[in-house]
Amino acid sequence: MLSRLLLYGYCYQDSNDIPDTLTTITELGSPLEMIQLLQTSWEDRFRICLSLVRLLHYLAHSPLGSVTLLDFRPRQFVIVDGELKVTDLDDASIEESSCTSNSDCFMEFPARNFTLPCSVEGRCQNMNEKRNLYNAYRFFFTYLLPHSAPSSLRPLLDKIVNATGELHWGIDETAAQLERVLNLYKSGEYLQNTTRIPKAEYRRVPEAFIPDENYRCWPSYHHKGCLLSVFDVNEAIEICDSYSQCKAFVLTNQTTWTGRQLVFFKTASNHIMPDPDKITYVKVTD
């Protein structure tokens, strides 16, 4: 799915009062608020970075040629159904800078400068693509990718952040590596190299729910409780074992965009209520 706002329609008006006016109707998105994003789950932040990379991959290989976004600030993007989409293409350009030597292919950013090679055709190689990629690094990857990520994925995520920050990779390799992270996360393969020996025993209570006994954790899908996504029951047990206040957890029938199950973690199991769509696990021994 391409990360561009869908165009539902447009209206061209040319009159004495309003000459040469074009009005467009697009899908509605939420403004990008970086502070709020930093408080969301790693899974949702990863989705935003993945949708951005998929957009940049399309722009690098568009039918018009390689397209660069000259104004890459976060306000140029919105979030639609959890994915990042670009709203304004007024500052997009397909012009690749001409050059006679490498010194003509100078890219300047507030914290870093780069010099790209000048091709035999007299064009700066991949300048549009590299400009987009470094802007993605400095505005998005460095803030959203590594923090609170699963520990076994951190080495690969750090590698992605460092490689884009140094422009060692192009968009093709960056996109391939982020898709690799997605596959590891969705399949549960990222858990294979972790130690998963339960510290406590749990009693399974089918068709049951604990309505109260909440505690807060970060990041959580619920602002008044600890609601996290898990690959399987074993991961839920591992998470509950890691919180001293966790005495039970409830598997819901809700899933995230990756298909992972949402689980409520609880401080006690004093009041268990019947619920056909949920399964409760109660810690028996510590």
The letter for the amino acid at 253 is N
Give, rounded to a whole angstrom, the gap between the first and last alpha carbons of the chain.
46
Name residue, tokens 């012009």.
95
Alpha-carbon gap, residue 158 to 169, rounded angstroms: 13
Residue 99: partners with Cβ closer than 8 Å, 6 or more residues away: 105, 118, 119, 122, 123, 124
Name residue, tokens 């397909």.
94
Adjacent-strand bridge partners of 206: 279
The DSSP H or E segment spanning 57 is helix 42-60
**Residue 30 is encoded by which pair of tokens?**
């939420």
Alpha-carbon gap, residue 96 to 109, rounded angstroms: 18
Residue 37: partners with Cβ closer than 8 Å, 6 or more residues away: 44, 45, 48, 143, 144
Alpha-carbon gap, residue 108 to 265, rounded angstroms: 48
Total count of residues recorded for the chain: 286
In the chain, the largest separation of any two C-alpha atoms, in whole Å, equals 80
Alpha-carbon gap, residue 267 to 281, rounded angstroms: 12
Q: Pick the catalytic residue: 17, 71, 172, 277?
A: 71
Mark whether 17 is an active-site residue: no
Alpha-carbon gap, residue 231 to 129, rounded angstroms: 35
Q: Cα–chain-centroid distance for residue 141?
A: 9
Active site residues: 71
